[in-house]
Amino acid sequence: MNDLGQFLLRAEEEMDFLPIIPLNESEQDDLNGIEIPDELALLPLRNTVLFPGVVLPITVGRDKSIKAVQEAYKGDKLIGVVAQKDSSVEDPTVLDLEDIGTVAKVVKLIKMPDGGTTIIIQGKSRFKIDSILFDDPYFKAKIIRLEEDESPAEADFDAYVSNIKELATEIVKLSPNIPTEAAIILKNIENPSFLIHFVSSNLNTDIREKQELLKLDRIRERADLLMKLLQKELQFAELKNKVTTKTRTELDKQQREYFLQQQLKSIKEELGGDPNQQEIKEMLKKAENKKWPDAAKETFKKGIEKLERMHPSTPDYSVVYNHLDLMLELPWDTCTEDIYDLKKAKKTLDTDHYGMQKIKERILEYLAVLKLKGDMKSPILCFVGPPGIGKTSLGRSIASAIGRKYVRLSLGGLHDESEIRGHRKTYIGAMPGRILQSLKKAKTSNPVMILDEIDKVGSDQRGDPSSALLEVLDPEQNNSFYDNYLEMEYDLSKVLFIATANTLQNIQPALRDRLEIIDLSGYAVEEKMEIAKTHLLPKQKELHGLKENSFRLSDKVLEKVIQDYTRESGVRELDRMLASIMRYQAKEQVMNGKLKASLTTDDIELILGKPKYSNDIYKTVNMPGVAVGLAWTYVGGDILFIETSLSDGKGELKLTGNLGNVMKESASTALTYLQSNAGKYKLDTKLFEKKNIHIHVPEGAVPKDGPSAGITMMVSIASALTGKKVKPYLAMTGEITLRGQVLPVGGIKEKVLAAKRAGLKEIIVCAQNEKDVEEIDPEFIQGVKFHYVKKMNEVIEIALG
């Protein structure tokens, strides 16, 4: 029965009493018949209020309380029970006691084994303290008994009682610590007064509110206040139940996941172990034989420890795993051994590429120093030259010659700096930079790395990749290159970087300063013929299934293909022409079953059509006012016609042909020089006032600029003004000044070879460019006469006779 009496109490609250109901409810009817004396010993209670009819077990601990109980137990067993105003007061005085209490009968007194005293008391009737007689050795007071109000006869009072029962039952249902039998007991209590007292006693509310219930004389008012308190308690119970249910749901979910994970683990163990643990073991096994710096080893160790603590389903697991996997894949201190046999290296380079002596010498010098010293920082080379001359393929040849791995990194159109440095590994889809990816692919830390088209690197709001390359291509810094994904420094000093570019103009100055520039000029006709015979023809024969056929192309035929069907510095167009010839030969082989032993020039015209280019144009342009200049473009040298025409007017100068500012200024300078020196060259000064001069450079859709056409424009204007024709098959290049000097220009080799390809026989250049001409192989410029000049009058004498 004790358990049943605990309902409506918070389980976590420590109580030293246990409300119970009387064994016989009919005793409630006899309460009014008990004789209660005027003077009673008082028992102060700290944590509850006793109501009439309710039975309470009380543990008595204070000396005064024990003496009061013992005194009452000796006599009529009646004692006055009052509540303390403040339950924290250990030794209460008269002022600490409530003035309304309940007369209780000590039903039983039990001596406990630990020396304590427990009594079971039953409330009989309410009383009011009239006066305190004494407070030592216990409290004794003169009391006034308060009569209980009869149950109201109104019909709605039954509704009050019924409502109290329902509210109390609802609270019992919502409180898991209260046994369900309590609801049955509540239902069976018929006496309204006892019901109110019983529920009030067990109500989980503040002691002062319980005291207020006890003070009320009218039972209806007591029922009214009790209902309000029950409503409040019901709301609290509902809220508590909601929170408890939510917490339990979350715990149930976690327990379910844990249980399933344990089951999954057991299944995996039965099938041969957890694959994630297997992956970690494999990583550790790979790491044992890895040659890497201490810093990398420490970082890997921390990463593995972190991975072991993580569940594979967490998002960060794959991030950490991929990072560690990259660390294992990178070569770190793994390098290939270089071949120090210089003669063998030279033979390999010569076999793969014709000419290019300057580059081959530079590579052999590097190998020689490496052999003597054993270790040196790799040079950062940059091959600059027109397209199609073999810059990229030369990198592969160099790698083969020195016995290193080859990787190519195309920088053309690169806009994002992260392509070089990598993305931070926390980003979705993050990757290391292209530099580390290439090293991972090469599986060695000293490959030959081709940075192709370094002049085509762009920049936008995502960063400037050329600035990121500053660190990569600086021998003083690249031993500690930092990649954002790896989050560690990596040594790139052993990598042999070779950059390729068509022009230096688009390369950032700071980046250009870090590169060792090696200029590659275009090929002469003789070089192209040699390349065609050694490399291109065998390659095309094999590609078209004609390797076993022994037909040949004579030098005369090859020369015709080169001169009449191509106009380039490299050999790409030549390669395409030879591919056309091979396709024709393949068709002939399949259709007729045999091939001619050799192809003639007529056969070439039949296969490739009429010649695309002709040198006869230079014979037909022999008229006053037309001069031939030499230009440099990123695809090599080219021929430039400059035409001047006179018309009646006011001496205005008109320039057409899509010319740049520098070229326009060269025309103005040439005209001013001729005006100021008209007497010297026997020019009619009136012509400058009466004639308009129109200078046009053909191929108007092509932009043209630069100072090297200065002397050509001057000769063209002088020819038009004097009416004299320019010497045939004569080309010229050079910058002019108002003082009449001829200044040197660049790109001499490309320009001279372009003039030779075009069939020109004489070339005027500045005397200071003589050293550039001497660098050209004499065989390639055989039959070309050079005029080295310092003054402009020398140019006019040679050009106009």
Instruction: Report the catalytic residues.
Output: 708, 751
CA dist 619 and 482 (Å) reads 62
- Assess contact for 383 and 496: CB atoms under 8 A: no
Q: Which helix (H) or strand (E) holds 646?
A: strand 636-648
Residue 701's alpha-carbon distances to 296, 639, 659, 694, 704, in angstroms, are 57, 15, 10, 18, 9
Residue-by-residue DSSP string for 247-296: HHHHHHHHHHHHHHHHHHHHHHHHTTS-HHHHHHHHHHHHHHT----HHH
R_g of the chain computed on alpha carbons: 55
DSSP SS3 for 13: coil
Buried b (16+ CB within 10 A) or exposed e, 62-94: eebbbbbbbebbeeebbbbbbbbbeeeeeebee
**Degrees to nearest 5, angle at CA 592 with 587 and 596:** 85
Nearest to 498 by CA among 422, 548, 438: 438
The pair of structure tokens assigned to 420 is 């070089």
Q: Are strands 598-599 and 448-452 parallel, antiparallel or unpaired?
A: unpaired
Q: Cβ atoms within 10 A of the Cβ of 668, count?
A: 12
CA distance 446 to 336: 7
Exposed/middle/buried for residue 240 (C-beta within 10 Å: 0-12, 13-18, 19+): middle
Helices 219-270 and 207-215 meet at what angle, rounded to 10?
A: 150
Smallest Cα–Cα separation from 545: which of 579, 573, 506?
Answer: 579
The partner residues of 481 in beta bridges, in order of sequence, read: 490
Helix (H, G, I), strand (E, B) or coil at 389: coil
Q: Assess whether the previous peptide bond of 386 is cis (omega < 30° from 0).
A: no
Measure the CA–CA gap between 46 and 622, rounded to whole angstroms: 130
Q: Residue 443: what are its φ and ψ, rounded to 5°?
A: 60, 25
Q: Within a 10 A sphere around the Cβ of 703, how many other Cβ atoms? A: 11
Measured between alpha carbons, how far is 544 from 547 in angstroms, rounded to an integer?
A: 8
DSSP string, 549-568: ---EE-HHHHHHHHHHH---
- Position of tokens 């016995």? 403
CA 237 – CA 493 distance, rounded (Å): 74
Residue given tokens 């389903």 in the structure block? 313
Instruction: Look up residue 216 and give its two tokens.
Output: 């009320």
Dist CA 414 CA 149 (whole Å): 98
